[in-house]
Chains A and B, each alone.
Chain A
Amino acid sequence: MTRSGGVTGVQLRSAIDTAALAPADAAEIEAMLGKVDLNEWTSGSTRRGGPPDRFQYDLVIEQDGRRHEITIGERDVSPSLRSLLDRLVAEARRRP
């Protein structure tokens, strides 16, 4: 996941590999993913331009041998996708 834009212009990046997580953690992520309708986003949701200073999320999800690439503006994030993105952002914000 990459979150870019916002007035700060700061880019946050993170990746989660469920195979490398504790089972309970992995199940939580899988559950979040399960609520997201990935097909909703596979048909090129990239748009040129947008409202100023809002976040842009670029998300790559690899699942069951399929790869989904999503570009989505903050205003278009559904509540189900939101919890997944929040988790990924929290991951990106962790200090090494």
Chain B
Amino acid sequence: MTSPIHSCRHPIHCLVPPQMLERIAENGSQAQRKWALDTLTRDHSLRMARVQNMQHRASGPRRADILTEVLAGMPRRTIRTAQNTENVEGPVMRGEGDPPTGDVAVDEAYDGLGATYAFFWDVLERDSIDGDGLPLRGVVHFGSQYDNAFWDGQRMVFGDGDGELFLRFTKSLDVIGHELAHGVTEDEAALEYWGQSGALNESMSDVFGSLVKQYKLGQRADEADWLIGADLLAPGVNGVALRSMAKPGTAYDDPVLGRDPQPAHMTKYVSTLSDNGGVHINSGIPNKAFHAVATALGGYAWERAGEIWYEALRDSRIKPRARFRTFARATQRAANRLYGDGSVESKAVGDGWDAVGIEL
């Protein structure tokens, strides 16, 4: 086969911009199109079966449709470095299809955003944050010893950690998934970041963050650790993670960090003005509900519990100030719609919310 880039013996070492590949895939000869599609899909071994199927069909008449379909399954990632300042428009370190840089935070962000994109696409058929292929922008080395990561409405930003309490925030795949999921939640429900709606917003990020990791590792619900940020506590910190979805309130107990403040039941709901009304505290309640549903159902948590939660997030009755019960009822409707009234799934959802003290 003749490569369109004749000087390049090994396409994997070539830096061909994705736009050029797309053009080749669209307009090139049969062999060129195949090469371009191969290159575009290289990082996506999980989807190889589907892609091969498309390549098979790419010789047929539906070429444009197929191309759109193939590109819809492709992330478009750009990782910048803030160079330890707070400038989020620092130099681009790695664009889509670029080889690893050797900068571990850059490469973890690239891979983690790729794994998160793959989860949303493969499992939920969602094309990126907005469902329409939004390019994924990551920024690493933000700030100085910055103990945090966040979604700023346009990009996912990661600090290096201080090294004593927290390590770099790209280290946990579920934290990368957590940040991207904030973008999805903003797009679907715009849950106000305060009180119960804020805790729901947080919980959606923990749920999808954890599912991204479980999907990547191929773990069933009973094999998963259900921890958020298990990799980024520094050595010497007395704890296992930032949060535990299986046992909220047990993730750490440390002289500096204090004790994990998460409740696992409505009777322990924390009323506070700090943390935007306790959004990272009371998220333990819906987190536990999700864990209860997923483990009751067994198998892969993303397949039924995850699908039900995602459908509920997209429910038009979920308004920005939705409370726990409103969301719980949306999950019940979703379970009934997807699996039928009186189904095992529907019952598991009711039991899961009941376990955390929320009546449907």
Contacts and interface: CB of A to CB of B under 8 A. Distances in A.
A51 B261 CA distance: 21
B229 A8 contact: yes
A54 B150 contact: yes
Contact of B280 (A2, A9, A50, A95): A9
Nearest to B193: A49
B256 A95 contact: yes
Contact of A93 (B164, B201, B229): B164
Contacts of A50: 193-194, 276
A83 B14 CA distance: 47
A11 B273 contact: no
Contacts of A6: 147-148, 150, 280
B80 interface: no
Interface stretch (B121-129, B174-182, B301-309, B324-332): B174-182
A49 B147 contact: no
Given A2-B274, A48-B194, A93 B148 contact: no
B255 A55 contact: no
Given A7-B178, A7-B179, A93-B165, A48 B148 contact: no
Contact of B150 (A9, A10, A12, A53): A53
A5 B258 contact: no
Interface in A46-96: 46, 48-56, 58, 71, 92-96
A51 B256 contact: no
Scoring A53, A58, A94 by chain B CB atoms within 10 A of each residue's CB, the highest score goes to A53
Given A48-B192, A52-B201, A7 B275 contact: no
Contacts of B186: 52
A52 B151 contact: yes
Interface string B148-163: 1111110000000010
A2 B262 CA distance: 17
Scoring A7, A10, A94, A96 by chain B CB atoms within 10 A of each residue's CB, the highest score goes to A7
Nearest to B281: A9
A6 B242 CA distance: 11
Nearest to B169: A7
A61 B229 CA distance: 34
A4 B261 CA distance: 12
Interface of B: 147-153, 162, 164-166, 169, 175, 178-179, 182, 186, 192-194, 198, 201-202, 205, 229, 242-243, 255-258, 261-262, 273-277, 279-281
23 contacts: A2-B274, A7-B149, A7-B280, A8-B148, A9-B261, A10-B165, A11-B258, A11-B261, A11-B275, A48-B277, A50-B193, A50-B276, A51-B153, A52-B150, A53-B182, A54-B148, A55-B148, A56-B275, A56-B276, A71-B273, A92-B256, A93-B164, A95-B256
Interface of A: 2, 4-12, 46, 48-56, 58, 71, 92-96
Closest 3 A/B residue pairs (Cβ): A9-B280, A53-B150, A4-B274
